[in-house]
Amino acid sequence: MIQFSINRTLFIQALNATKRAISSKNAIPILSTIKIDVSPSDITLTGSNGQISIENTIPVSNDNAGLLITSPGSILLEANFFINIISSLPDVSLEFKEIEQHQVVLTSGKSEITLKGKDVEQYPRLQEVSTENPLVLKTKLLKSIIAETAFAASLQESRPILTGVHIVLSNHKDFKAVATDSHRMSQRVITLDNTSTDFDVVIPSKSLREFATVFTDDIETVEVFFSSSQILFRSDHISFYTRLLEGNYPDTDRLLMTDFETEVVFNTQSLRHAMERAFLISNATQNGTVKLEIAQHQISAHVNSPEVGKVNEDLDIVSQSGSDLTISFNPTYLIESLKAIKSETVKIHFLSPVRPFTLTPGDDEESFIQLITPVRTN
């Protein structure tokens, strides 16, 4: 039966990172527990919601853990409840001791708390992913790719495949991530330094956002492994599993146009703030849009929501070229698109009032491109 002592602060951090995979309202009640596996050399915490699973390992070799393992074993404990209890204990360290009938006695300072646990046999087996030939990526790069694409995935389950981000490796080094909800699209491509086996997967955007929270910036690189239905992101102490989406992702390459009639370069922040004002008014009308009028020496934004009011605003630009154009669209898409662009300026290419327009960062021509579909108005 389990017995160990550990630094409480470090244990709380590991528990909280693992808890991100655990939903207290899961349809499978046993998934509201956290699994604690104690071996002679480490403790592994496991949490899962059926879609994502997180394994967090604390080795005895971690000096900050103050981990002394007297006896190994495995047990399940109600995750939220257990973490609240551990967080409330008074001392810097804590003693964890399993007694009869899956009970656990926690001792810290003068406080002694006994909790009921569950037999570890009740926990579902997480699917295994073979850990050979990893694709190694810088965590920071992977997180920035997620930030640039995941927001453009659909939130609606009517076409489940569109709730994911399509990630493809071709020619062993051409990495592409793309997401679309059929109104807008965001695509990031990079060329990898190291080559790897080609793959083509669709990862739920929600899982990717969760990954970005769990893998903090101090984790330099992440190893990526695939099975037919799962993907595993792994660092030294954290393994993050997520299910893949099944089905064929639509061909997004055909949407990318190369020709354009009008080019305008805006200051990213100033365009975003103008669109946020426009949104406040357009949002008062169902399917409200903003109208962008591009004429020589004068670019302006207009919203008219008969119930609440209207906006008229001259926009500052960096440069413009090509034909005059008037185009209407949902300002939300442009706001979210501009939030994903880190460069000071943004280049927008228009072809016609009824064709999608593209956005690229002012400092980066090809590797990051977004596309927004206009709304036809008369």
Q: What is the smallest separation between the CB atom of 329 and a copy of itself, expressed in angstroms?
A: 19
- Are 361 and 342 a contacting pair, CB within 8 Å? yes
Residues contacting 312, CB < 8 A, separation 6+: 300, 301, 302
Our CB check for a copy of itself shows the closer of 11 and 368 to be: 11
- Are 351 and 261 a contacting pair, CB within 8 Å? yes
Using DSSP's 3-state secondary structure scheme, residue 121 falls into helix
Our CB check for a copy of itself shows the closer of 111 and 195 to be: 111
Our CB check for a copy of itself shows the closer of 110 and 254 to be: 110
- Are 152 and 144 a contacting pair, CB within 8 Å? no
> CA 32, CA 25: separation in Å to the nearest integer?
7
Our CB check for a copy of itself shows the closer of 79 and 311 to be: 311
Q: What is the largest CA-CA distance in the chain?
A: 82
Residue with tokens 């920035």: 144
Our CB check for a copy of itself shows the closer of 270 and 326 to be: 270
CA distances from residue 358 to 261, 266, 299 in whole angstroms, order as listed = 12, 13, 17
Q: What is the smallest separation between the CB atom of 332 and a copy of itself, expressed in angstroms?
A: 14
- Are 268 and 229 a contacting pair, CB within 8 Å? no
Q: What is the smallest separation between the CB atom of 207 and a copy of itself, expressed in angstroms?
A: 31
> CA 79, CA 35: separation in Å to the nearest integer?
9
Our CB check for a copy of itself shows the closer of 6 and 86 to be: 86
> CA 104, CA 117: separation in Å to the nearest integer?
7
> CA 48, CA 190: separation in Å to the nearest integer?
31
The DSSP code for 344 is: S
Residue type, 333: Y
Calculated CA dihedral for residues 186, 190, 212, 140, nearest 10 degrees? -140
Our CB check for a copy of itself shows the closer of 222 and 301 to be: 301
Q: What is the smallest separation between the CB atom of 274 and a copy of itself, expressed in angstroms?
A: 7
Our CB check for a copy of itself shows the closer of 112 and 344 to be: 112
- Interacting residues with a copy of itself (CB under 8 A): 78, 81, 84-85, 88-90, 103, 110-116, 270, 273-274, 276-277, 280-281, 284, 307-316
Q: What is the smallest separation between the CB atom of 12 and a copy of itself, expressed in angstroms?
A: 14
Q: What is the smallest separation between the CB atom of 305 and a copy of itself, expressed in angstroms?
A: 9
Our CB check for a copy of itself shows the closer of 42 and 78 to be: 78
Q: What is the smallest separation between the CB atom of 157 and a copy of itself, expressed in angstroms?
A: 30
Calculated CA dihedral for residues 206, 207, 208, 214, nearest 10 degrees? 120
Using DSSP's 3-state secondary structure scheme, residue 146 falls into helix
Beta bridge partners of 239: 55, 234
Q: What is the smallest separation between the CB atom of 206 and a copy of itself, expressed in angstroms?
A: 28
Calculated CA dihedral for residues 87, 88, 93, 95, nearest 10 degrees? -100
Our CB check for a copy of itself shows the closer of 16 and 196 to be: 16
Q: What is the smallest separation between the CB atom of 80 and a copy of itself, expressed in angstroms?
A: 10
- Are 285 and 375 a contacting pair, CB within 8 Å? no
Q: What is the smallest separation between the CB atom of 106 and a copy of itself, expressed in angstroms?
A: 9
